[in-house]
Amino acid sequence: MKGRIVYIEELKKHVGEEVEIRGWVYNKRSSGKVRFVIIRDGTGFLQCVMVKSNLADEVFELYDELSLETSVIVKGKAREDRRAPGGVELELQDLKIMGKSVNFPIPKVREDNIPDVGVLLPIRHLWLRTRKQWALMRIRHTVEKAIHDFFDKNGFIRIDAPILTPSACEGTTTLFETDYFGEKAYLTQSGQLYMEAACMAHGRVYCFGPTFRAEKSKTRRHLMEFWMVEPEIAYAELPDIMENAERFVSYIVERVLEERKEELKTLERDISKLEHVSPPFPKISYTEAVEILKKKGFKFEWGEDFGGDEETAISEEFDKPVIVHRYPAKIKAFYMKRDPQNPELALCMDMLAPEGYGEIIGGGQREDSLEELEKRFDEYDLPKEAYEWYLDLRRYGTVPHAGYGLGIERTIAWISGIKHVREAIPFPRLLEKIYP
Ligand code: 4AD
Ligand code: MG
C-alpha cells in the first residue's frame, strides 16, 4: 500500500488525496453493493465506503472478516461528505488486516444492550476503547493541561511531592501502610505538608500527582487512588485562596468547553449548565449551610460533618459551585488555622460542585504559630517527632500561608456529567478491586 499516512483528525486537510489510515474496526454495515466500515484510530472516527466495482474481489470480501476491533490499515481517497461524521469519508481502495479480533467482549452499544458495569470493570483495558470512555480520557487530558497552564500563567512553580511518606496528612484512619526497610511508611494522602515547605522557598507552588486513601467507601465519589492538584501560597490568607480557587475552576471549565465540544456532545452533556461557571462563586459559612439544611428538613446538628446527601442539598441552592467556609475546627485536620473571631471555627473552605457532584476542593489557611501547632499534636494524638521538620517551618521565618487541593476525578465527573468517578480515571482503584 502506498499513500500518505495520516491521522483521522487531520484528514480534512487531505481532501482529494490518497491516504493511509491505521486503526481498528469500530462498526460496519452493508446496503446492497455498498458497504460501510467505521474505523477509529485514536484521534477520531472515519467512515470508509467499500464499492464492489472499485475494489479487487478479495479486498471486497474481507468485509466479512471485519469483526469489531479488528486492527486494519486502509488506503483510499479522502472526500468531503457533509453527512459523514467529521465531514470527511474515505473511498476505500485497499485494506489489510493486521490483527484479528474474535468476539470482542463489549458489543456495539445501543440503548438496549449497555453492558453492566460489573462486566465492564474487569475489562477496563478494553472498555477504554469505547466511544464514551475515549471522550472522557480526552477531557481528562484537557483538564490536566489546563491545570498546568493556569498555575504556570499565574506565577506558580510545580514542585513534585513524595509518594512514600513517614506520616499522615489527613488523619490516621485512611492510610495505606507499607514497609520501608523495617520502618513503617505510608502512601501519601496529600502533598500539602511538603508544599508548605516549598512555598517558603518559592512563594507560589503546586503539586499534581496521585494520592491514596484507604477509605472503606463504595460511593460514586470515592476512589482509593485519585489525582490531586495542590497549590500553596506564602503570605496568603483564606480570602485569597477562595478567590484563586474560583478563578482556577472557571478556567478549567472554560478550556474544556473550548477544546472538547465534540466529546461533551458524545457524553450528551447539557453544556448550558457549564457556560455560566465564572467568578465570583457564591460563598457561605458552614453555619449558613446548616441553616439551609434545616430549612430543607434535614435532621442535622451544628458540629457534624456533611455527607454526600447534605452536600447535594446545599449545592442545589446554587447554579455555580458554592464555597462553604469556616467549618467547626473539630471535624477538620490538625493543620487548620483557627478563626481569631471564634476559635471553634477553622479558617477553611470546601468547594461543592453543582448538580450533586459534591466536594471538589478542600483547603484553607494553615496554622502558622509554633505554640498553637504544638498543642494540636496532643489534641489530635499525632506523634510530634514525625513532624519536627514541619514544625521547623514555624521556627524559621513563619508567615501566614494557605492552599487547597482539587480532586481531578470529581472535577472531570462533574464537567462531563457522568455519574461515577470511576470512569474519570483510566484504571480505577476501588474498594477491594485492583484488577486490571
Ligand atoms: O479535602 P481533602 O481531603 O483535602 C486535602 O487533602 C488537603 N490536604 C488539600 C490541601 O489543602 N492541599 O481532599 C481534597 C480533594 C477533595 O475535595 C476531593 O475533590 C478529592 O480531593 N478527594 C477524593 N477524590 C476521590 N476519591 C477520594 N477518596 C477522595 N478524597 C478526596
Ligand atoms: Mg475534604
Could you report the per-residue pLDDT of 208-218, keeping only the tens digit for each?
999 999 999 99
Choice from 147, 187, 244, 410 to test ligand 1 binding pocket (greatest atom count within 8 A of CB): 410
Give residue 94's pLDDT.
97
Report whether 351 contacts 245 (CB < 8 A): yes
Provide the pLDDT for residue 221. 95
* Residue of 190, 227, 238 to test ligand 1 pocket, by largest number of atoms within 8 Å of CB: 190
Q: Cell numbers of 215, please?
A: 477509605
Q: What is the DSSP annotation of 1-41? A: --SEE--GGGGGGGTTSEEEEEEEEEEEEEETTEEEEEEE-
E strand spans, 190-326: 204-212, 225-234, 283-285, 322-325
Per-residue pLDDT averaged across 27-46, rounded? 94
Q: Above 80 in pLDDT, residue 85?
A: no
Average pLDDT over residues 238-248: 98
End-to-end CA distance of the chain: 37
Residues 71 and 24: beta-carbon distance below 8 Å: yes
> Which ligand 1 atom sits nearest the alpha carbon of residue 223?
26
Question: In 167-245, where do the E strands start and end?
Answer: 177-180, 183-187, 204-212, 225-234
Sign of the alpha-carbon torsion through 382, 384, 387, 392: positive
Section 26-51 average pLDDT: 94
The residue among 392, 394, 424, 423 whose CA lies nearest residue 406 is 424
Specify the residue with its C-alpha closest to ligand 1, atom 2.
Answer: 362
109 pLDDT higher than 70? no
What is the number of the ligand 1 atom nearest to the C-alpha of 232?
12
Residue of the CA atom closest to atom 27 of ligand 1: 222
Average pLDDT, the chain: 96
* Region of poorest pLDDT, from 170-174, 195-199, 225-229: 170-174
**Can you list the domains of the chain with their CATH numbers?**
4-99 (2.40.50.140), 124-424 (3.30.930.10)
Residues 6+ apart with CB under 8 A from 312: 356, 358
- In this structure, which residue's CA is closest to atom 17 in ligand 1? 361
Q: Taking residues 334-353, what's their average pLDDT?
A: 98
Q: How far is the CA of 361 from the centre of ligand 2 (A)?
A: 7
CA distance 52 to 273: 48
Task: Dump pLDDT digits (tens) for 354-376.
Answer: 999 999 999 999 999 999 999 99
Ligand sitting nearest the alpha carbon of 327: 2
Report the pLDDT value the prediction gives residue 422, as an integer from 0 to 100.
Answer: 97
Reduced to 3 states (helix: H, G, I; strand: E, B; else coil), residue 243 is helix
What does the pLDDT read at residue 114? 75
The predicted pLDDT at position 32 comes to 80
Choosing from 228, 365, 366 the residue with most ligand 1 atoms within 8 A of its CB, the one to mutate for a pocket test is 228
| pLDDT recorded at residue 33 | 85
Atom of ligand 1 minimally distant from the CA of 169: 8
User: Ligand 1 within 6 A of 409 CB?
Assistant: yes
Q: What is the pLDDT of residue 413?
A: 98
405 lines ligand 1 (CB under 6 A): yes
Name the nearest CA neighbour of 245 among 282, 275, 270: 282
Question: Of the ligands numbered here, which is closest to the C-alpha atom of 321?
Answer: 1
Instruction: Give the single-character DSSP code of 336.
Output: B
Q: Interhelix angle for 370-379 vs 388-395, to 10°? A: 160
Taking the CA of residue 335 as reference, the ligand 1 atom at the shortest distance is 8
Provide φ and ψ at 130, rounded to 5°.
Answer: -75, 160
Per-residue confidence (pLDDT) for residue 203, from 0 to 100: 98
DSSP states along 178-193: EEETTEEEEE-S-SHH
pLDDT at 108: 77
On the question of pLDDT at 317 being above 90, the answer is yes
Q: Which atom of ligand 1 is nearest to the CA of 411?
A: 19
Report CA(49)–ligand 1 centroid distance (Å): 49
- pLDDT tops 70 at residue 110: no
| C-alpha 38 to ligand 1 mean position (Å) | 41
Please say if the pLDDT value at position 398 is more than 80: yes
Residue 364 CA: which ligand 1 atom is closest? 11
146 lines ligand 1 (CB under 6 A): no
Give the pLDDT mean for 215-228: 95
For residues 37 and 30, what is the distance between their CA atoms, to the nearest angstrom?
9
